[in-house]
Protein backbone atom coordinates (compact mmCIF):
# COMPACT_ATOMS: atom_id res chain seq x y z
CA UNK A 1 0.00 0.00 0.00
CA UNK A 2 1.04 3.63 -0.47
CA UNK A 3 2.77 5.23 2.47
CA UNK A 4 0.77 8.13 3.79
CA UNK A 5 2.30 9.24 7.07
CA UNK A 6 5.25 6.86 6.80
CA UNK A 7 3.97 4.96 9.82
CA UNK A 8 6.29 1.96 9.58
CA UNK A 9 7.43 -0.09 12.54
CA UNK A 10 9.67 -3.07 13.05
CA UNK A 11 9.21 -5.73 15.70
CA UNK A 12 11.96 -5.97 18.31
CA UNK A 13 13.10 -9.41 17.18
CA UNK A 14 13.03 -8.99 13.43
CA UNK A 15 16.30 -9.67 11.65
CA UNK A 16 17.79 -11.92 14.34
CA UNK A 17 18.54 -15.61 14.55
CA UNK A 18 19.12 -17.95 17.47
CA UNK A 19 22.50 -19.22 16.30
CA UNK A 20 25.18 -18.14 13.88
CA UNK A 21 27.39 -20.19 11.56
CA UNK A 22 31.16 -19.85 11.69
CA UNK A 23 31.92 -16.91 9.42
CA UNK A 24 34.05 -17.12 6.31
CA UNK A 25 33.69 -13.41 5.56
CA UNK A 26 34.89 -10.71 7.94
CA UNK A 27 34.34 -7.00 8.17
CA UNK A 28 37.11 -4.77 6.87
CA UNK A 29 38.86 -2.39 9.22
CA UNK A 30 37.74 1.24 9.13
CA UNK A 31 39.93 3.37 6.87
CA UNK A 32 40.78 7.04 7.22
CA UNK A 33 38.95 7.64 3.94
CA UNK A 34 35.69 6.44 5.49
CA UNK A 35 33.38 9.45 5.77
CA UNK A 36 31.46 7.87 8.63
CA UNK A 37 32.40 8.95 12.14
CA UNK A 38 33.75 6.48 14.65
CA UNK A 39 31.84 8.41 17.31
CA UNK A 40 28.52 7.34 15.79
CA UNK A 41 29.54 3.70 15.97
CA UNK A 42 30.88 3.97 19.50
CA UNK A 43 27.46 5.03 20.73
CA UNK A 44 25.77 2.02 19.19
CA UNK A 45 24.15 3.60 16.15
CA UNK A 46 21.45 1.46 14.55
CA UNK A 47 22.81 -0.74 11.77
CA UNK A 48 21.50 -0.77 8.23
CA UNK A 49 23.19 -2.66 5.40
CA UNK A 50 23.47 -1.76 1.72
CA UNK A 51 24.21 -4.65 -0.64
CA UNK A 52 25.84 -3.64 -3.93
CA UNK A 53 28.00 -5.29 -6.55
CA UNK A 54 27.82 -3.60 -9.96
CA UNK A 55 28.08 -0.16 -11.55
CA UNK A 56 24.31 0.49 -11.55
CA UNK A 57 24.28 -0.23 -7.80
CA UNK A 58 27.27 1.98 -6.99
CA UNK A 59 25.89 5.13 -8.62
CA UNK A 60 22.62 4.75 -6.70
CA UNK A 61 24.43 4.00 -3.44
CA UNK A 62 26.47 7.22 -3.42
CA UNK A 63 23.78 9.79 -2.46
CA UNK A 64 21.95 7.30 -0.23
CA UNK A 65 25.14 6.54 1.71
CA UNK A 66 25.90 10.21 2.32
CA UNK A 67 22.43 10.65 3.81
CA UNK A 68 22.14 7.40 5.75
CA UNK A 69 25.51 7.88 7.45
CA UNK A 70 24.01 10.86 9.29
CA UNK A 71 21.46 8.60 10.96
CA UNK A 72 22.81 5.03 11.05
CA UNK A 73 25.82 2.80 11.18
CA UNK A 74 25.67 2.19 7.43
CA UNK A 75 27.43 -1.03 6.44
CA UNK A 76 28.33 -1.47 2.77
CA UNK A 77 28.59 -5.00 1.37
CA UNK A 78 30.20 -5.48 -2.08
CA UNK A 79 29.37 -8.87 -3.56
CA UNK A 80 32.07 -8.67 -6.25
CA UNK A 81 29.67 -9.03 -9.19
CA UNK A 82 31.79 -6.42 -11.01
CA UNK A 83 35.31 -7.21 -9.88
CA UNK A 84 37.30 -5.53 -12.67
CA UNK A 85 38.91 -2.30 -11.39
CA UNK A 86 37.37 -0.16 -14.13
CA UNK A 87 33.91 -1.52 -13.31
CA UNK A 88 34.17 -1.44 -9.53
CA UNK A 89 36.83 0.19 -7.38
CA UNK A 90 37.27 3.24 -9.55
CA UNK A 91 33.57 4.01 -9.08
CA UNK A 92 34.01 4.06 -5.29
CA UNK A 93 36.84 6.54 -5.72
CA UNK A 94 35.05 8.84 -8.15
CA UNK A 95 31.81 8.75 -6.16
CA UNK A 96 33.67 9.53 -2.91
CA UNK A 97 32.47 6.32 -1.31
CA UNK A 98 34.42 4.60 1.47
CA UNK A 99 35.85 1.16 0.91
CA UNK A 100 33.17 -1.50 1.41
CA UNK A 101 32.93 -2.99 4.88
CA UNK A 102 32.66 -6.44 3.30
CA UNK A 103 34.07 -7.57 -0.04
CA UNK A 104 32.62 -10.99 -0.83
CA UNK A 105 34.58 -11.67 -4.01
CA UNK A 106 31.95 -13.73 -5.80
CA UNK A 107 33.11 -12.68 -9.29
CA UNK A 108 31.83 -13.97 -12.59
CA UNK A 109 29.74 -17.01 -13.42
CA UNK A 110 26.30 -17.98 -14.66
CA UNK A 111 23.27 -16.19 -13.27
CA UNK A 112 22.39 -19.10 -11.00
CA UNK A 113 25.93 -19.50 -9.72
CA UNK A 114 26.30 -15.79 -9.00
CA UNK A 115 23.00 -15.49 -7.16
CA UNK A 116 23.62 -18.64 -5.15
CA UNK A 117 27.14 -17.71 -4.06
CA UNK A 118 26.07 -14.17 -3.22
CA UNK A 119 23.16 -15.41 -1.13
CA UNK A 120 25.38 -17.67 0.95
CA UNK A 121 27.92 -14.96 1.70
CA UNK A 122 25.41 -12.15 2.21
CA UNK A 123 23.52 -14.35 4.66
CA UNK A 124 26.68 -14.74 6.75
CA UNK A 125 27.09 -10.97 6.91
CA UNK A 126 23.48 -10.42 7.91
CA UNK A 127 23.58 -13.06 10.62
CA UNK A 128 26.77 -11.53 12.00
CA UNK A 129 25.79 -7.86 11.84
CA UNK A 130 22.06 -8.23 12.54
CA UNK A 131 21.01 -4.99 10.82
CA UNK A 132 17.52 -3.58 11.17
CA UNK A 133 17.09 -3.15 7.40
CA UNK A 134 18.89 -4.32 4.25
CA UNK A 135 18.89 -2.00 1.24
CA UNK A 136 19.22 -3.27 -2.32
CA UNK A 137 19.44 -1.18 -5.48
CA UNK A 138 18.14 -1.51 -9.02
CA UNK A 139 17.90 -4.83 -10.86
CA UNK A 140 21.24 -6.67 -10.92
CA UNK A 141 21.94 -10.23 -9.74
CA UNK A 142 23.31 -8.63 -6.57
CA UNK A 143 19.91 -6.97 -6.03
CA UNK A 144 18.04 -10.26 -6.17
CA UNK A 145 20.61 -12.19 -4.13
CA UNK A 146 20.68 -9.54 -1.42
CA UNK A 147 16.89 -9.44 -1.19
CA UNK A 148 16.59 -13.22 -1.04
CA UNK A 149 19.26 -13.56 1.62
CA UNK A 150 17.70 -10.85 3.77
CA UNK A 151 14.17 -12.19 3.39
CA UNK A 152 15.29 -15.68 4.44
CA UNK A 153 16.80 -14.43 7.70
CA UNK A 154 13.90 -12.05 8.33
CA UNK A 155 15.75 -8.79 7.80
CA UNK A 156 13.31 -6.34 6.17
CA UNK A 157 14.28 -5.41 2.62
CA UNK A 158 14.20 -1.86 1.24
CA UNK A 159 14.37 -1.62 -2.56
CA UNK A 160 15.78 1.60 -4.01
CA UNK A 161 14.45 2.09 -7.56
CA UNK A 162 11.43 -0.14 -7.08
CA UNK A 163 8.59 -0.52 -9.56
CA UNK A 164 10.40 -0.35 -12.89
CA UNK A 165 8.92 -2.60 -15.56
CA UNK A 166 9.66 -3.28 -19.22
CA UNK A 167 7.25 -6.27 -19.22
CA UNK A 168 9.76 -8.65 -20.80
CA UNK A 169 10.40 -11.55 -18.43
CA UNK A 170 13.06 -12.94 -20.75
CA UNK A 171 15.32 -10.16 -19.53
CA UNK A 172 17.26 -11.16 -16.38
CA UNK A 173 16.93 -7.63 -15.06
CA UNK A 174 13.14 -7.77 -15.25
CA UNK A 175 13.10 -11.06 -13.33
CA UNK A 176 15.39 -9.55 -10.69
CA UNK A 177 13.36 -6.39 -10.18
CA UNK A 178 9.94 -8.09 -10.10
CA UNK A 179 11.00 -10.72 -7.56
CA UNK A 180 12.81 -8.15 -5.44
CA UNK A 181 9.75 -5.89 -5.32
CA UNK A 182 7.55 -8.73 -4.13
CA UNK A 183 10.00 -9.55 -1.32
CA UNK A 184 10.56 -5.98 -0.14
CA UNK A 185 9.02 -4.39 2.92
CA UNK A 186 9.82 -0.86 1.72
CA UNK A 187 9.53 0.11 -1.94
CA UNK A 188 11.19 3.40 -2.89
CA UNK A 189 9.82 4.28 -6.33
CA UNK A 190 11.58 6.83 -8.57
CA UNK A 191 8.55 7.85 -10.67
CA UNK A 192 4.77 7.93 -10.64
CA UNK A 193 4.75 5.18 -13.26
CA UNK A 194 6.79 2.97 -10.93
CA UNK A 195 4.28 3.57 -8.13
CA UNK A 196 1.43 2.60 -10.45
CA UNK A 197 3.22 -0.63 -11.41
CA UNK A 198 3.71 -1.62 -7.78
CA UNK A 199 0.09 -0.93 -6.87
CA UNK A 200 -1.19 -2.76 -9.94
CA UNK A 201 0.79 -5.86 -8.95
CA UNK A 202 -0.43 -5.63 -5.34
CA UNK A 203 3.11 -5.69 -3.95
CA UNK A 204 2.80 -6.14 -0.21
CA UNK A 205 5.46 -3.62 0.82
CA UNK A 206 5.02 0.03 1.75
CA UNK A 207 5.34 2.23 -1.34
CA UNK A 208 6.89 5.69 -1.29
CA UNK A 209 7.42 8.00 -4.27
CA UNK A 210 10.92 9.36 -3.63
CA UNK A 211 12.12 10.55 -7.01
CA UNK A 212 15.30 9.14 -8.51
CA UNK A 213 18.60 9.15 -6.64
CA UNK A 214 20.46 9.56 -9.96
CA UNK A 215 19.35 13.19 -10.04
CA UNK A 216 21.60 13.73 -7.04
CA UNK A 217 24.45 11.61 -8.37
CA UNK A 218 24.60 13.54 -11.62
CA UNK A 219 24.18 16.89 -9.89
CA UNK A 220 27.12 16.12 -7.62
CA UNK A 221 29.31 14.52 -10.28
CA UNK A 222 28.89 16.55 -13.46
CA UNK A 223 30.86 19.59 -12.30
CA UNK A 224 33.55 17.34 -10.89
CA UNK A 225 33.75 15.47 -14.19
CA UNK A 226 34.14 18.73 -16.10
CA UNK A 227 37.01 19.70 -13.84
CA UNK A 228 38.80 16.39 -13.37
CA UNK A 229 38.23 14.36 -16.55
CA UNK A 230 40.45 14.82 -19.62
CA UNK A 231 38.72 12.16 -21.70
CA UNK A 232 37.51 14.58 -24.38
CA UNK A 233 41.05 15.72 -25.12
CA UNK A 234 42.53 12.24 -24.67
CA UNK A 235 40.24 10.87 -27.40
CA UNK A 236 40.61 13.88 -29.67
CA UNK A 237 36.95 14.83 -29.50
CA UNK A 238 37.24 18.52 -28.79
CA UNK A 239 36.59 19.70 -32.34
CA UNK A 240 34.11 17.14 -33.66
CA UNK A 241 30.61 16.00 -32.63
CA UNK A 242 30.33 12.34 -31.73
CA UNK A 243 27.81 9.63 -30.90
CA UNK A 244 28.40 7.68 -27.69
CA UNK A 245 27.57 3.96 -27.89
CA UNK A 246 27.22 1.32 -25.17
CA UNK A 247 26.16 -2.31 -25.65
CA UNK A 248 26.30 -4.87 -22.88
CA UNK A 249 22.96 -6.61 -22.29
CA UNK A 250 22.91 -10.36 -22.75
CA UNK A 251 19.97 -10.19 -25.16
CA UNK A 252 22.26 -8.32 -27.57
CA UNK A 253 25.70 -9.75 -26.84
CA UNK A 254 24.65 -13.43 -26.71
CA UNK A 255 22.62 -13.34 -29.94
CA UNK A 256 24.84 -13.27 -33.02
CA UNK A 257 22.08 -11.90 -35.26
CA UNK A 258 21.30 -9.02 -32.94
CA UNK A 259 24.94 -8.18 -32.32
CA UNK A 260 25.72 -8.38 -36.03
CA UNK A 261 22.86 -5.99 -36.81
CA UNK A 262 24.13 -3.49 -34.25
CA UNK A 263 27.66 -3.63 -35.68
CA UNK A 264 26.33 -3.25 -39.22
CA UNK A 265 24.39 -0.15 -38.20
CA UNK A 266 27.41 1.37 -36.46
CA UNK A 267 29.57 0.84 -39.55
CA UNK A 268 27.00 2.67 -41.68
CA UNK A 269 26.93 5.74 -39.46
CA UNK A 270 29.04 8.49 -40.98
CA UNK A 271 29.40 10.51 -37.79
CA UNK A 272 32.16 9.92 -35.24
CA UNK A 273 31.32 6.99 -32.96
CA UNK A 274 32.86 6.49 -29.51
CA UNK A 275 32.32 3.02 -28.05
CA UNK A 276 33.61 2.09 -24.56
CA UNK A 277 33.30 -1.70 -24.78
CA UNK A 278 32.21 -3.88 -21.87
CA UNK A 279 34.46 -6.97 -21.43
CA UNK A 280 31.52 -9.30 -22.16
CA UNK A 281 30.83 -7.40 -25.36
CA UNK A 282 34.45 -7.67 -26.50
CA UNK A 283 34.34 -11.41 -25.96
CA UNK A 284 31.06 -11.74 -27.88
CA UNK A 285 32.34 -9.60 -30.77
CA UNK A 286 35.45 -11.76 -31.04
CA UNK A 287 33.52 -15.03 -30.81
CA UNK A 288 31.13 -13.93 -33.56
CA UNK A 289 33.90 -12.59 -35.81
CA UNK A 290 32.64 -9.01 -35.59
CA UNK A 291 35.39 -7.25 -33.66
CA UNK A 292 37.58 -6.55 -36.67
CA UNK A 293 34.66 -5.25 -38.73
CA UNK A 294 33.84 -2.74 -36.01
CA UNK A 295 37.33 -1.54 -35.18
CA UNK A 296 38.47 -1.25 -38.81
CA UNK A 297 36.14 1.70 -39.38
CA UNK A 298 38.07 4.98 -39.18
CA UNK A 299 35.16 6.86 -37.63
CA UNK A 300 34.77 4.31 -34.78
CA UNK A 301 36.85 4.83 -31.65
CA UNK A 302 36.76 1.96 -29.15
CA UNK A 303 37.99 2.20 -25.58
CA UNK A 304 38.13 0.03 -22.49
CA UNK A 305 35.38 0.58 -19.90
CA UNK A 306 35.69 4.05 -18.46
CA UNK A 307 35.55 5.40 -14.94
CA UNK A 308 32.42 7.18 -13.83
CA UNK A 309 33.70 10.74 -14.29
CA UNK A 310 35.07 10.05 -17.77
CA UNK A 311 31.85 8.39 -18.83
CA UNK A 312 29.65 11.17 -17.46
CA UNK A 313 31.71 13.73 -19.34
CA UNK A 314 31.40 11.74 -22.58
CA UNK A 315 27.64 11.49 -22.05
CA UNK A 316 27.24 15.19 -21.41
CA UNK A 317 29.13 16.29 -24.52
CA UNK A 318 27.76 13.67 -26.93
CA UNK A 319 25.46 14.80 -29.72
CA UNK A 320 23.51 11.55 -29.25
CA UNK A 321 23.70 8.34 -27.21
CA UNK A 322 22.99 4.88 -28.64
CA UNK A 323 22.63 2.27 -25.91
CA UNK A 324 20.93 -0.82 -24.53
CA UNK A 325 21.51 0.26 -20.92
CA UNK A 326 18.59 1.28 -18.75
CA UNK A 327 20.74 3.52 -16.60
CA UNK A 328 22.32 5.28 -19.56
CA UNK A 329 18.87 6.02 -21.03
CA UNK A 330 17.97 7.84 -17.84
CA UNK A 331 21.33 9.61 -17.60
CA UNK A 332 20.93 10.81 -21.20
CA UNK A 333 17.55 12.32 -20.33
CA UNK A 334 18.85 14.01 -17.20
CA UNK A 335 21.82 15.43 -19.13
CA UNK A 336 19.67 16.58 -22.05
CA UNK A 337 21.16 14.29 -24.70
CA UNK A 338 18.95 12.51 -27.31
CA UNK A 339 18.96 8.73 -26.85
CA UNK A 340 18.44 5.79 -29.21
CA UNK A 341 17.68 2.53 -27.38
CA UNK A 342 18.76 -0.81 -28.88
CA UNK A 343 15.98 -2.82 -27.27
CA UNK A 344 12.38 -3.74 -27.98
CA UNK A 345 11.10 -2.27 -24.70
CA UNK A 346 12.28 0.05 -21.96
CA UNK A 347 11.60 0.39 -18.25
CA UNK A 348 12.21 4.15 -18.50
CA UNK A 349 8.98 4.90 -20.33
CA UNK A 350 9.05 8.51 -19.15
CA UNK A 351 12.04 9.25 -21.37
CA UNK A 352 10.06 8.03 -24.39
CA UNK A 353 6.87 9.87 -23.43
CA UNK A 354 8.85 13.08 -22.99
CA UNK A 355 10.26 12.67 -26.50
CA UNK A 356 13.95 12.26 -25.61
CA UNK A 357 14.33 8.52 -26.18
CA UNK A 358 13.46 6.43 -29.24
CA UNK A 359 13.29 2.64 -28.86
CA UNK A 360 14.31 1.01 -32.16
CA UNK A 361 15.45 -2.54 -31.37
CA UNK A 362 18.29 -3.81 -33.56
CA UNK A 363 16.89 -3.23 -37.03
CA UNK A 364 19.72 -1.72 -39.06
CA UNK A 365 17.51 0.69 -41.00
CA UNK A 366 15.68 1.90 -37.90
CA UNK A 367 18.95 2.54 -36.07
CA UNK A 368 20.58 4.48 -38.90
CA UNK A 369 17.42 6.45 -39.65
CA UNK A 370 17.01 7.39 -35.99
CA UNK A 371 20.62 8.53 -35.76
CA UNK A 372 20.12 10.74 -38.81
CA UNK A 373 16.71 12.22 -37.99
CA UNK A 374 15.88 12.02 -34.27
CA UNK A 375 15.66 15.45 -32.63
CA UNK A 376 13.70 15.96 -29.40
CA UNK A 377 11.11 18.70 -29.71
CA UNK A 378 9.96 19.07 -26.11
CA UNK A 379 11.60 20.54 -23.06
CA UNK A 380 12.53 18.05 -20.38
CA UNK A 381 10.38 17.95 -17.28
CA UNK A 382 11.11 16.83 -13.72
CA UNK A 383 9.75 13.33 -14.11
CA UNK A 384 12.58 11.96 -11.92
CA UNK A 385 12.11 14.36 -9.05
CA UNK A 386 13.97 17.38 -7.73
CA UNK A 387 17.01 15.79 -6.13
CA UNK A 388 15.66 14.93 -2.69
CA UNK A 389 15.28 11.16 -3.04
CA UNK A 390 18.05 10.18 -0.61
CA UNK A 391 16.64 12.48 2.06
CA UNK A 392 13.17 10.96 1.67
CA UNK A 393 14.65 7.45 1.89
CA UNK A 394 16.56 8.27 5.08
CA UNK A 395 13.50 9.88 6.66
CA UNK A 396 11.33 6.87 5.83
CA UNK A 397 13.86 4.39 7.26
CA UNK A 398 14.29 6.47 10.40
CA UNK A 399 10.55 6.45 11.02
CA UNK A 400 10.38 2.73 10.23
CA UNK A 401 13.00 1.83 12.80
CA UNK A 402 12.07 4.24 15.61
Which residues are catalytically annotated? 248
Please report the DSSP string for 82-117 in residue order: S-SGGGTHHHHHHTTPPPPSEE----S--HHHHHHH
The answer to whether 251 and 343 are in contact (CB under 8 A) is yes
Burial class (CB in 10 A: 0-12, 13-18, 19+), 226: middle
Dmax (CA) of the chain: 65
- Kindly report the backbone phi and psi dihedral angles of residue 273, in degrees, each rounded to the nearest multiple of 5, phi listed first: -120, 130
What's the start-to-end Cα distance of the chain, in Å? Answer: 20
The answer to whether 54 and 81 are in contact (CB under 8 A) is yes
- Report the interhelical angle of 308-317 vs 326-335 (nearest 10°): 60
Please report the DSSP string for 329-376 in residue order: HHHHHHHT--EEE-SS--S-HHHHHTTSEEE-TT-HHHHHHHHHH---
What's the rounded Cα separation, in Å, for the pair 175 and 143?
11
Amino acid sequence: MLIAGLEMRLGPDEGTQESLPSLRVTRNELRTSDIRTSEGRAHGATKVVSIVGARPNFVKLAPVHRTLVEHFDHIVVHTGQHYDYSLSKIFFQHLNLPDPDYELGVGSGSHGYQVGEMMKKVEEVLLSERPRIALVYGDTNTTLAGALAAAKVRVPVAHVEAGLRCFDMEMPEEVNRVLTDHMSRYLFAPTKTAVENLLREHCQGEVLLTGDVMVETLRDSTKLAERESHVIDDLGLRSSPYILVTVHRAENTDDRHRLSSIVEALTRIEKRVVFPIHPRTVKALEEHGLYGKLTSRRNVTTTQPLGFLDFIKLEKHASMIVTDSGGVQKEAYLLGVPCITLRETTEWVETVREGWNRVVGVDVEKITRAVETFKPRRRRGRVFGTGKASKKIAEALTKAIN
